Chain A
């Protein structure tokens, strides 16, 4: 498994502002992902964070709204830009060392007023 931490654990933000979420892993991992879990919903993949290159975004998610950085094999950030109440959600990072397992961080609970 992997020990994954996220900062902040929760935040309340004003619309129009941006928030950067950090994800730190205790060891090097090949793949890192960012997911969104809206209230009462399941997880939706936002993007794959690629080390040394631009993230790969899923349909419906764009870099201008959710810029992602991955400067090394243990760290990634997700920024939620120009926030609106519809962005209120739990944002989760996950890591994978192999194709048959993913491990999730505790999540960041974001509320946009």
Chain B
């Protein structure tokens, strides 16, 4: 059973477009993290959201944590080719350290 469901699984857009990636679960998480992974590398932490309803901005990336702490979204404004990669959400259950990962959204931004 996949604890975290991400959608869409694949996304191919042109430079300058906006996009939103979703991460949903029936479980409550003490925190949710978003990572970006490029081929041949390990995931790189983008942001951690902790409080229900929280919104965090990282340049052109906006992250939101659902009020019930069961879901999150990542919105990218004016996507650039450098945004290409696998975006993973991960949640810590029961205030523990170990993370459960979603299957990821593979994003391709073409010039």
Contacts and interface: CB of A to CB of B under 8 A. Distances in A.
Given A42-B104, A101-B33, A107 B41 contact: yes
B30 interface: yes
Contacts of A1: 45
Interface stretch (A14-22, A66-74, A92-100): A92-100
A46 B102 CA distance: 16
A33 interface: yes
A106 B37 CA distance: 10
How many chain A residues sit at the interface, stated as a range, is 20 to 34
Interface residues of B, number: 25
Instruction: Label chain A's interface by main secondary structure.
Output: strand
B43 A104 contact: yes
A3 to B, nearest CB: 12
Contacts, number: 60
A99 B96 contact: yes
A58 B98 CA distance: 10
B42 A48 contact: no
A106 B42 contact: yes
A112 interface: no
A100 B43 contact: no
A99 B30 contact: yes
A105 B43 CA distance: 8
Given A42-B88, A42-B101, A42-B103, A100 B41 contact: no
Nearest to A4: B42
B97 A104 contact: no
A13 interface: no
Interface string B84-109: 00001010100111111111100000
Q: Which of A4, A94, A101, A102 has the most CB of B within 10 A?
A: A102
Interface of A: 1, 4, 31, 33, 41-45, 48, 58, 92, 94, 96, 99-107, 109
